Amino acid sequence: MSHKIMLYAITAVLFMACGDVPTDAGGTGEEAMNDTVPRTVVGYYTNMAVTTDIPSVEVELWLHPDSSFILRTTLRGPDPQTTGGAGSWSMHGDSLLLGPGPSDVGRFTKDGLILGAGRGTLVAPILGARMDVVPAMDLVGEYRFEADLHSFTPCGSERVFPLAVAEGDMGLEALSEKQGKGPLVVELTCTLGPAEAAEGEAPDVYVFPKRLVRVLDECPPAVLDLP
């Protein structure tokens, strides 16, 4: 199994760790919680996940106030590679859910965010500049152009992100028209972050494409276990 496939597997297992939780989960983390959980969980989290048979993996997680999340995993070693995921997040008690599962990905304690499957603690959130810019990563998803709007839905997610095609003309619209019906599944090297918003409005998180890596026939199947 290649390092890149391994990295996609690690990213996927962070989506799906621990199993099902009650389906009435909701909330954005802004509401008051118990004494061991921060009042707001919006922020940037990072930690190094240590594995036994491959180089260490750096895990970064952004939780935005518009209920969107960005997950970035970087395989450290002689051939560093970065992949990611994105979608919507919510809270159920002290549990962090990364949709659309719902899956119990982590739990908040007085020590920080504990990832599922005992993968360590992510440090306390760092607000400010680290929330505004997400370093580039490879992301697989469905591109659509409808009603003069470009959008991107990461595979395994139900969250639809606006796509800032002005960042780079990669011919996605032409490729989509050539394919015909259905979304165009692509792997993009991209960044994600909030775009400018009108005064008093919360900014939407956009996908800013940098490079078209490849076109796929369909979204790859979800990977449930680490390699």
Q: Please, which pLDDT band fits residue 199 given cuts at 50, 70 and 90?
A: low
The two domains 3-130 and 137-216 share their CATH topology (first three levels equal): no
Distance of CA 117 to the CA centre of its chain: 18
196 or 10: which leads in pLDDT: 196
How distant, in Å, are the alpha carbons of 53, 143, 152, 207 from that of 191?
29, 15, 12, 6
Please report the pLDDT score of residue 77 as a whole number.
Answer: 72
**pLDDT-wise least confident of 30-39, 52-61, 140-149, 151-160:** 30-39
Q: How far apart are CA 110 and CA 161, in angstroms?
A: 32
137 and 190 Cβ atoms separated by less than 8 Å: yes
Q: 191: burial class by Cβ within 10 Å (0-12, 13-18, 19+)?
A: buried
Q: What are 59's two structure tokens?
A: 């895990």
Sign of CA dihedral 211, 216, 222, 225: negative
Please indicate whether residue 167 or residue 207 has the higher confidence score (pLDDT): 207
Indicate yes or no: pTM above 0.85.
no
CA distance 145 to 172: 9
Answer whether 124's CB lies under 8 Å from 178's CB. Answer: no
User: In this predicted model, which residue has the larger pLDDT, 168 or 132?
Assistant: 132
- Percentage of the chain beyond pLDDT 70 is 64
What confidence score (pLDDT) does residue 17 get? 40
With a pLDDT cut of 90, the percent of the chain lying above it is 16
Could you read off the pLDDT of 5-52 as tens digits, one per residue?
444 544 544 544 433 333 333 444 433 344 444 557 888 888 766 655
Q: What is the mean pLDDT of residues 72-93?
A: 82
Name the residue ranges covered by the structural domains of the chain. 3-130, 137-216
Fold of the 137-216 domain = OB fold (Dihydrolipoamide Acetyltransferase, E2P) (2.40.50)
HSE, side-chain direction, 13 A CA sphere, residue 53: 8
Q: Show the DSSP H helices in 89-135 as ranges.
A: 129-132
The domain 3-130 is placed in CATH, from the list 3.90.226.10, 2.40.10.10, 3.40.50.1400, 2.40.128.640, at 2.40.128.640
Q: Is the model's pLDDT at 212 over the cut of 90? A: yes
